[in-house]
Structure 1
Amino acid sequence: MLKKLITAVLLLTAAVVLFVNCAPQFGGKATGISLDKMKNSRNYKDGKFVNLVETSMDMGVGSMLETMKEYFQKVNGTPSQPLPVKFGEGDQSAVDSLTYLTWFGHSAFLLEMEGQRILLDPMLGKAASPVPFMINRFPYEEKIDIDAIEDIDAVIISHDHYDHLDHSSIVKLDKVVNHFYVPLGVGAHLQRWGVKADKITELDWWQDTTLEHIKLVCTPSRHFSGRGLTDRNATLWSSWVIQGSHTNLYFSGDSGYAGHFKQIGEKFGPFDFTLMECGQYNEKWAQIHMMPEETLQAHLDVKGKKMMPIHWGAFELAMHTWTDPVERLLTAADKHNVEVVSPFIGERFSLNGMEPQERWWKHVLNRQVASK
């Protein structure tokens, strides 16, 4: 029996290693010029990228067991009713002096700015994991039609985690995308998935480039990266500043709270609009994901005007209820007189004229109660 058990464990281990090394969704490893750029980065030490401040992500066995227990005991972690969406609705005009956003849930957006169509972290697939049966997207009343997305001038990626960089989405979008802008090292994933090297620009923190008349700046965040078993922090993670002639926008990516927000605000603020991470948090990993109250403070630090909470409304990645992020953020915003935008998923809206909306998630909760 012992021999059979050892053999089974060895076979399982070999299968996992083979799967991780061969399955394309795990991405690629940087080589050549890309690897040289990484090694020359001041943020790259001993073969890994590091945060600007000391950041711990390790939990002991006891903490991990406690977390697993909390995860299975939680309630209302996911909506029991399909979420309402408004794909194809909202303001459908097109004025170059106006900026438009369409939210796909979580941190995925279509940004239309000064004649450019830009996708931010376009995770449009079903599962935020390397396998299709784990971490599935919340049910929507209407599925995201990725085939309807056309004429994309640029894709901006914040980091390589599965809920932000999706293999299936990139493969489908590549034929309609002109260029990809990513943090250092992330280009290797795209190239393994068929994206040509000359369509990829990799940037380090504080480096910038231009897309027509729009300035793109890769700015710091406090997080980590990795898609496999042995590539923790092998690629860089970031936030992004997107500056046009009429609109200055900040996209936080994923981040714990730290002093980089004030630095960004001092260098590039004030911002007309901020897309700020707000969701999938827990005290155990507070250094890499913000609590909603910290999200509000980060918005103030970067000198934002209007803001929108993101990183919620699609996947269950923490122990809080699915509506807790936006509710806590709105409570904090009321105390500071900060205007928060909360559109429906799929609703196209103008940043210049969007007013505070109804709390659409309340309707889902009410239907949930009525169905019991």
Structure 2
Amino acid sequence: MKKVFKILKRTMQIFLILIVFIGAVTFLYMRQAKFGQLPAGERLARIEKSPHYKDSHFLNLIEKPTLTPGYSMLGELYKTIFKKYPNREPLDSLPSVKTDLKNLPIDSNLIVWFGHSSFYMQLDGKRFLADPVFSESASPVPGSVKAYKGSNIYEADDMPEIDYMLISHDHYDHLDYKTAIALKNKVKHVVCGLGVGAHFEYWGYRPEQLIEKDWYEKVEVAPGYTIFTESTHHDCGRGFRPGKALWLSFLIQSPAMKVYYSGDGGYDNRFAEIGHKYGPVDWAIMECGQYNKAWQSVHELPEEVALATVQLKAKNMIPVHHSKFTLANHPWDEPLNKITEFSIHKPYRLATPMIGEAVSLNDPAQTFTKWWKGVN
């Protein structure tokens, strides 16, 4: 019996040593610059005045459990590890077009999508770049969440000078350290949620480049030209402490049109409110991908994307958050197939450009192929 006790004691000691070792390695690894910085000082003082900040973290307007009732974290983890989900990423290289962004006439209103949620936009003489991720990965863990073949054809050097870089939130598939560093001298202003600027300042951006906003605020671009920062139902966080910075969606109202970018977030009544508040939206760029009924509260299902687009009173919609990284268990092309199905007979036009294809915001006759069909 004493021998068994000694073995158990020794096993426990080894187990505790392993836990301490893993904890120490994790702590040291997470001190790398790519993990960013938590808000402090004057930045934190401003955050603490926000009506959306309580008990040391930001809250959604109506709190919901991340996991849908009936699902469990252990159950979802087990399914992800042990259950086989077919076609989660393409075997073929994705088709794409390499548009020369630096030589586009500045008076042309257009959007160029780069895969996932990254896109470039020219609108009434201003250049925007949203959630750029030009590295091969959307994860801080080496070798994980890699970009699909053919999806990563753009890099920071391909970008012209950017007037406003829009950052919806600080998750790795929307805020990439390597990309942010490479763009530092090309970006005039970064518009982001309260607290997200801490990452950028830590990475060498000047304070005057950073415009941090709460929900329901605005950035005056020019007379009759405004960026409105709107809510979404999601989260922020690059480590083990979520909710320290704020997540946003954007409504850009130029003299010519209104463009809405949803960022990430589950469905709620904000779309109807935004549609009522701003009137018809000319273009909606909507998150549509990396969803699961188990976490429906933080990522919309395709049928919800279609409903939200109608409630926005959008005339045109581009689905994003797909076709570059696998972050969910559905087939990689399911978001495109589903949103195409759910958009039939809807009052908006669905635009499905391939990566790099220029979408003219002023051409209602422009057509788009189902480029994902036939890709294995």
State the TM-score bracket (shorter-chain normalisation): over 0.9
CA distance in 1, matches of 2:104, 2:156: 21
Aligned pair partner of 1:94 in 95, 102, 105: 105
My pick for the range that moved more, 70-79 or 169-178, is: 70-79
Summarize deviations over 1:63-85 as a string: whole Å, max 9, x none. Answer: 23332343341000000001111
Residue of structure 2 aligned with 1:296, choices 287, 299, 306? 306
Q: How far is 1:34 from its partner?
A: 1.6
The one-letter code matched in structure 2 to 1:88 is T
Q: Which runs of structure 2 are paired with 1:332-343 in the superposition (5 Å)?
A: 332-343=342-353
Which structure 1 segments of 5+ residues have no match? none
**From 67, 73, 84, the counterpart of 1:73:** 84
Q: Deviations over 1:211-243 (max 9, x none)?
A: 2353001100011111101x2111100100011
Kindly indicate whether the alpha-carbon contact (under 8 Å) linking 1:340 and 1:356 is maintained by their aligned counterparts in 2: no
Amino acid of the structure 2 residue aligned with 1:113:
L
The match for 2:161 among 151, 160, 163 is 151
- Matched residue SS, 1:362: coil
Letter of the structure 2 residue corresponding to residue 45 of structure 1: K
2:242 to 211, 232, 240: 232
Structure 2 unmatched runs, 5+: 1-9
Give distance in 2, aligned partners of 1:142 and 1:168.
Answer: 14
Aligned partner letter, 1:56: P
Matches within 5 A, 1:318-333: 318-333=328-343
Aligned length: 362
> What whole-Å deviation, never above 9, does each CA across 1:182-208 have from its counterpart, x for those lacking one?
011100011111111111010000000
Cα distance, 1:59 vs structure 2:
7.8
Which of 196, 199, 203 aligns to 2:206? It is 196
Distance 2:180 2:71 in 1: 38
TM-score normalized with structure 1 length: 0.92
Partner in structure 2 of residue 314 of structure 1: 324
- Equivalent of residue 223 in structure 1, options 224, 234, 239: 234
Report what 2:119 is aligned to. 109
CA contact (8 A) 1:70 1:319 kept: no
RMSD over aligned Cα atoms? 2.0
Counterpart CA distance in 2 for 1:342 and 1:120 is 18
Which residue of 2 is the match for residue 279 of structure 1?
289
Q: What is the CA distance between 1:131 and its match in structure 2?
A: 2.5
**1:167 Cα shift?**
0.6
- After TM superposition, the structure 1 = structure 2 runs for residues 39-54 of structure 1, keeping only pairs within 5 Å, are 39-54=48-63
CA distance in 1, matches of 2:166, 2:218: 13
Q: Contact 2:286 / 2:319 at 8 angstroms: preserved in 1?
A: yes
Shift of the alpha carbon at 1:113?
1.1
Partners of 1:47 and 1:100 in 2: how far apart? 40
Point out the structure with max Rg over C-alpha.
2
Q: In the TM superposition, what is the alpha-carbon distance from 1:9 to its structure 2 partner?
A: 2.0
More displaced 10-residue stretch of structure 1: 136-145 or 220-229: 136-145
Larger CA deviation: 160-169 vs 141-150: 141-150
CA contact (8 A) 2:67 2:73 kept: no
Matched residues in 2 for 1:56 and 1:142: separation?
Answer: 34
Question: For residue 256 of structure 1, what is the aligned residue in structure 2?
Answer: 266
Report if aligned partners of 1:85, 1:142 keep a CA contact under 8 Å in 2. Answer: no
1:119 Cα deviation from its structure 2 partner: 0.3
Whether the aligned pair in 2 keeps the contact of 1:126 and 1:132 (CA below 8 Å) is: no
